[in-house]
Amino acid sequence: MTSRNLFLVATLALCSATSMAQTDDMGIFDHLSAGVEIGSTGWGIDLGAPIGNYVQVRAGVSSIPDITFSTDVDLCISPQLRMDYEAFMGTPLTLNSIGIDGSVGMTSGKLLVDVYPFRNSSFHVTAGAYVGTSKVLTVKNTSGMEELKQIYDFNQTGALLHNFGKIGAEVGDYLLTPTKNGVIDAYAEMASVKPYFGIGFGRAVQTKSRIGVSCDLGLMLWNQPKFYCNSADGYFRLDDDATVSGDEGGAIKTLSKLNVYPVLNVRLCYRIF
C-alpha cells in the first residue's frame, strides 16, 4: 500500500472516529426524549433533555389513581370513660369498633435533574421535587352511625360540662371524633412541594439508540402528615395524642407515621431527536 493510500485510510478513520464522538456528544437541550414510567408514584409521563454530557433534566407528571380500601378501627375509650358515658347518657355503649373506608391518591408535577459522574455512565444521582396534591388520604366510617351520634352528644356536653374525655376512633396516634350525623370524616395532608433525592441507572436521553430503559430508587420528602377531622365548626387539625395508640388502621396508620415516601420507578423512553 502506497503512502498516499495509507494517508487516505488514516484520514477516513480519523473522520469516522470524530463523527462517532460527535454523535455521542450532548449539547444544551439539543435532544429531546419522551418517557412513560410506572412504579410507586403510580404512572407517569415526562420529557427529557440533556445539559451537556453529564447532566440531564426530566419534567412531567406522575399520578397514583385513587385507591380505596376498607378496614376496622377500635373505639378509643377507657373502662372509666365508658362508665362515665353510660352514667351520663343513661344507656349502655355497645360499640367497640368501626368500619372505615379509606382512599389514597396523589397527582404531582415533577422536575428532576440527573447527574452522571462519568461521560458514558448509566449510573446517576438525582435531585428535584414533586409538586402537587397535598391531600393524599381521606377517611370515612361505614358503620356505627347511630351510636356515633350519641357519642357526638356526649363529646359536646359531658366532656365539656364534667371534663370527661372525648370518645372517638383510634387511627395511629390520632383520635377521630364523629360529627352530629354520626360520621367520622377526616383527611391527611402532606406538603405540596416534596423534595426528591435518589439514584438510578439509565439515561433520560439515549445517545446511541432511540429507545432506552431506566430505573430510579429514592425518597420523596413530604414531612409527617397533618390530620384534619370534621366537626360542628368545620375541619380542625388534630394533634398527636399520647394517650392514643391505635393498633388497627392498616395503611391509614402507616401513612400517619411516614415522613418520607419510597420511590421505585421503571421508565421507558424514546429519543425524538
* Arithmetic mean of pLDDT, 86-107: 89
229-243 residue pLDDT tens: 887 677 888 765 444
pLDDT digits (tens, 9 = 90+) for 17-71: 333 333 467 889 999 999 999 999 999 999 999 999 999 999 999 999 888 888 8
Cell numbers at 18, concatenated: 470524530
Average pLDDT, rounded, for the chain:
83
Surface-to-core class of residue 151, CB atoms within 10 Å of its CB (0-12 exposed, 13-18 middle, 19+ buried): buried
Residue with cell 420511590: 263
- Model confidence over 110-150: pLDDT tens digits? 999 999 998 888 999 999 999 998 888 888 999 989 999 99
pLDDT digits (tens, 9 = 90+) for 213-229: 999 999 999 877 788 88
Question: How far is it, in rounded angstroms, from Cα 163 to Cα 111?
Answer: 51
Asked whether residue 203 is domain-assigned, the answer is yes
The answer to the question of residue 19 being in a domain is: no
Please tell me the least confidently modeled range out of 155-164, 252-261, 264-273.
Answer: 252-261
Would 1 be classed as within a structural domain? Answer: no
Is residue 145 a part of any domain in this protein? yes
Q: Looking at the domain assignment, is residue 69 inside a domain?
A: yes
Q: Copy the grid coordinates of residue 202.
A: 439509565
Does a structural domain hold residue 16? no
User: For position 78, what pLDDT does the model report?
Assistant: 86
SS3 20: helix
Look at the pTM and tell me if it is higher than 0.85.
no
Domain that holds residue 152: 25-271
CB 29 within 8 A of CB 54: no
Domain count, the chain: 1
For the domain that residue 54 is a member of, what is the CATH number? 2.40.160
Residue 36 resides in a domain: yes
Residue 205, pLDDT score:
92
Q: Which DSSP category does 1 fall into?
A: -
Residue 241 located in a structural domain:
yes
CB 81 within 8 A of CB 167: yes
